[in-house]
Structure 1
Amino acid sequence: MKQSLHYLFIWLVAFLLLLTIVLLPMDTIFETGRGGSFEGAQYDYQFANHIDNFKMLGTHIMEFQGLGPDQYGRDLLGHIIEMFGRSLKIIIPALILSFVIGIAKGVIDYRVRRNKGKVFGQFTTWGILSVPDLALIIGIQLAILIMISNGWLFRIDLFGHDTIDNVLMNILFLSIYPTAYIANTTFQALQSEQGMDYIRTAKSKGTPQFIILYKHMLKNGMARIFSHTNTMILYILSNLFIIEIFTEYRGAAFYFYNSLGNPSQFYVDGLFSARTIEVIGYIFFFTVLILAANLVTAAARSVMVPAKGGDSS
């Protein structure tokens, strides 16, 4: 309960900080020349105007009993929730796969660390971690397109959001780096456990290596593995923007990016402004998603991770 309140407090502070940034007054004094041509601009921050923006946000929410309509007249809150549901179709499976496959890969890396199999073990994990995500995605897409063009593979839809191909491929793209990250974390956790007293005790009792690895080392290493969950979730969410935009998967990250507008455009006697209410809506749901992941992770750790390290029974 105490930890949940701690996460809730951190979320509230983070959301209010982001909200303060989004609601910064956009008062700019433009200097124009002959024919209205742009000559210069100077930002004029006024604290009172900043407070007024908060008041206008509150008035807007009270007036529409929600976020109101978007630029196309649709219910903005309903649209954001629908887009988050679309993104969750790839986020949740990617998160689960990253843990399951990553832990399994880490165990394999540990078991083959001293023989020739390490070329396909930890070296492969390090290789994936050292290559930028976008390069891996482009490489996979090119390989698939080449195989399709040569008739070696059935047609796969790589772009869009409305087919099962789009969902499955984006789950794959989204889980590549987190899987390697968890694999490396699992390997390091097992290595740190191998010199513990309880391991030597279990070996002296003639306990099979398989039981020592899975019942003792992996079980006690879970605390270290799960401690990286927040980092992995942030990896997944940051990669979500790259993947949705690059593959035109129209989910929450795709529309959030579009709602920010083009920062390179401006107009004299006016300032190009993002769709502020829509931006705030997406920020709220993204931060709530991180909060929910933290709460679920904390609950899972309390159930799955032993209270004390070392189990020689």
Structure 2
Amino acid sequence: MIRYIANKFFYMLISLLILISVTFFLMKAIPGDPFMSEKMVSPEIQARLMEQYGLDKPVYQQYFKYLGDIVTGDFGLSMKHQNQEVSQIIGDTFQASLKLGAVAIVFSVIIGVLLGMLAALYHRKLIDNVAMIAAVLGMAVPSFVLATMLQYVLALKFNMFNVMGFDGPMDYVLPVLALSAQPIAFIARLTRSSMLEVLHADYIKTAKAKGLNWFSIMFKHVIRNGILPVVTYVGPMTANIITGSVVIEQIFGIGGIGKVFVECITNRDYTMIMGVTIFYGILLMLARFITDIAYVLIDPRITFNRGKEG
């Protein structure tokens, strides 16, 4: 188990180094600099700004200096937000994104698993058909299209919610629905197929033959084994919700890190782009790392098999 976790952690660090390197050199490959859009700035002042942020040095020197700063937790100063550190901006704006993402993740798992369970238990009946039609629609409609439709119908036409803003509990409803539609659809289909397979397994028939009651069979055998594929999907689902929130935050006017990310790309704020990209990368890799550990804890047999392979 310890060796398995250590291997996962090592590969996570390697992936993070690759992410930092690729992002850094891609930015440097783009012509121009962050101060090209500044108006009425003399060449002397522009040269001083380039020197202040170390942009006048060779690219390889900038790269190794940045790696050294990252190791110490220094993401540098924003090139567009005067005298503000990148880590401070990320910390101030991530709170709204964290709240939205956490609610969307929990909502997606609960509703998706429930729909999948109902569809499996009532296989080829009305509930199964309705759940699967809803799942197909949820996977087909992009989140930004759904967000716009929700705004138009529920906010403008029926005046049930605010069109934009993130001030109260009711303001969570529309962005959470828009972010959760695709994950719910995928989880529902995944849970349905997995539970159908488990329900027809030999050990379930044996449990029934032994006279175990329905609730005991469901909670001890069917749900525990049927939920394993969903646990595997939690990592990619977290990635989808986090990256999808970039657009959703723009649509609903939520002052989260997604909105800042779009602005820093537009403004070519190198330090902010690097900081937010690394922050997103760490979040996604940690989500995957925790998912792998949770998968092993739920099914201890995987530890032995993977340990032999490693």
1:115 aligns with 2:119: no
Deviations 1:57-79 (A, max 9, x none): 36877999552355232233111
Equivalent of 1:300 in 254, 277, 294: 294
Equivalent of 2:141 in 115, 124, 131: 131
1:251 aligns with 2:256: yes
The answer to whether the 8 Å contact 1:245/1:254 transfers is yes
Q: 2:88 maps to what in 1?
A: 78
Residues 63, 223 of structure 1: alpha-carbon distance in 2 compared, 3 angstrom cutoff:
closer
1:291 aligns with 2:285: yes
Residues 69, 254 of structure 1: alpha-carbon distance in 2 compared, 3 angstrom cutoff:
closer
Find the residue that maps to 1:181 and give its secondary structure: helix
Structure 1: stretches of 5+ with no match in the other structure: 30-47, 263-273
Amino acid at match of 2:10: F
Name the % identity.
Answer: 21
Q: 1:50 maps to what in 2?
A: 59
Equivalent of 1:203 in 201, 208, 222: 208
Equivalent of 2:199 in 189, 194, 205: 194
The answer to whether the 8 Å contact 2:119/2:129 transfers is no
The answer to whether the 8 Å contact 1:102/1:182 transfers is yes
Deviations 1:34-76 (A, max 9, x none): xxxxxxxxxxxxxx94312214536877999552355232233
Amino acid at match of 1:171: V
Task: Return the alpha-carbon distance in structure 2 between the equivalents of residues 49 and 21 of structure 1.
Answer: 17
Structure 1 or 2: larger helix share?
2
Count of matched residue positions in the alignment of Structure 1 and Structure 2: 274
Task: Return the alpha-carbon distance in structure 1 between the equivalents of residues 231 and 72 of structure 2.
Answer: 44
Q: 2:164 maps to what in 1?
A: 159
Find the residue that maps to 1:23 and give its secondary structure: helix
RMSD: 2.9
The answer to whether the 8 Å contact 1:101/1:179 transfers is yes
Scaled by the length of structure 1, the TM-score of the pair is 0.76
Q: Which moved more, 1:120-129 or 1:77-86?
A: 120-129
Instruction: Report the alpha carbon displacement of residue 175 of structure 1 after superposing the two structures with TM.
Output: 1.7
Task: Return the alpha-carbon distance in structure 1 between the equivalents of residues 300 and 208 of structure 2.
Answer: 23
Residues 3, 290 of structure 1: alpha-carbon distance in 2 compared, 3 angstrom cutoff:
farther
Deviations 1:266-293 (A, max 9, x none): xxxxxxxx21111111112111211322
Task: Return the alpha-carbon distance in structure 2 between the equivalents of residues 158 and 140 of structure 1.
Answer: 9
The answer to whether the 8 Å contact 2:5/2:293 transfers is no
The answer to whether the 8 Å contact 2:151/2:174 transfers is no
Instruction: Report the alpha carbon displacement of residue 187 of structure 1 after superposing the two structures with TM.
Output: 0.6
Scaled by the length of structure 2, the TM-score of the pair is 0.77
Residues 7, 287 of structure 1: alpha-carbon distance in 2 compared, 3 angstrom cutoff:
farther
Amino acid at match of 1:92: A
Instruction: Report the alpha carbon displacement of residue 200 of structure 1 after superposing the two structures with TM.
Output: 1.6
Q: 1:4 maps to what in 2?
A: 5
Residues 207, 62 of structure 1: alpha-carbon distance in 2 compared, 3 angstrom cutoff:
closer
Q: 2:182 maps to what in 1?
A: 177
Matches within 5 A, 1:80-95: 80-95=90-105
Q: 1:270 maps to what in 2?
A: none
Find the residue that maps to 2:158 and give its secondary structure: helix
Q: 2:49 maps to what in 1?
A: none
Residues 211, 53 of structure 1: alpha-carbon distance in 2 compared, 3 angstrom cutoff:
same
Find the residue that maps to 2:76 and give its secondary structure: coil
Instruction: Report the alpha carbon displacement of residue 184 of structure 1 after superposing the two structures with TM.
Output: 1.1
Q: 2:305 maps to what in 1?
A: none
Q: Which moved more, 1:244-253 or 1:164-173?
A: 164-173
Task: Return the alpha-carbon distance in structure 2 between the equivalents of residues 146 and 66 of structure 1.
Answer: 42
Find the residue that maps to 2:166 and give its secondary structure: coil
